[in-house]
Amino acid sequence: QKEVEQNSGPLSVPEGAIASLNCTYSDRGSQSFFWYRQYSGKSPELIMFIYSNGDKEDGRFTAQLNKASQYVSLLIRDSLPSDSATYLCAVKQKASGTYKYIFGTGTRLKVLA
């Protein structure tokens, strides 16, 4: 069974700090990686995706991918209380004729005002 692993947290950071969220995956053939934010009782909301090794920046968010180590991370700079949510790491896995997301359990982030 191909898995995606995340620390469930909670990860608590003070407002303005950098939050670092980590994810490992078991399928070495995976090529595309997605970070979703999920508020309690709501649907996942895409933050960003990354396909290539290295860093990808989008505003306060930076995704980092290391395929050799099968590791993907999300950095949130200048954390705000509104960033408090569960962050889901998702890996695309080949299905018959399409792809499906394999999600991790999510890391709960608390940004303290």
Which residues in this chain contact other proteins in the complex, by CB under 8 A? 31-32, 34, 41-46, 49, 51, 88, 90, 92, 94-106
Nearer to other proteins, 63 or 104 (CB): 104
Least distance CB 90 / other proteins (angstroms): 8
The Cα–Cα gap between 89 and 3 comes to: 11
Nearer to other proteins, 20 or 31 (CB): 31
Least distance CB 40 / other proteins (angstroms): 10
Least distance CB 65 / other proteins (angstroms): 13
Residue 79 burial class via C-beta count within 10 angstroms: exposed 0-12, middle 13-18, buried 19 and up: buried
Nearer to other proteins, 1 or 82 (CB): 1
The CA distances from residue 47 to 7, 58, 60, 68, 69, in Å, are 19, 9, 11, 23, 23
Contacts of 27 (CB under 8 A, 6+ apart): 2, 91, 93, 102
Nearer to other proteins, 24 or 31 (CB): 31
Least distance CB 17 / other proteins (angstroms): 27
Q: Is the peptide bond before 10 cis (omega within 30 degrees of 0)?
A: yes
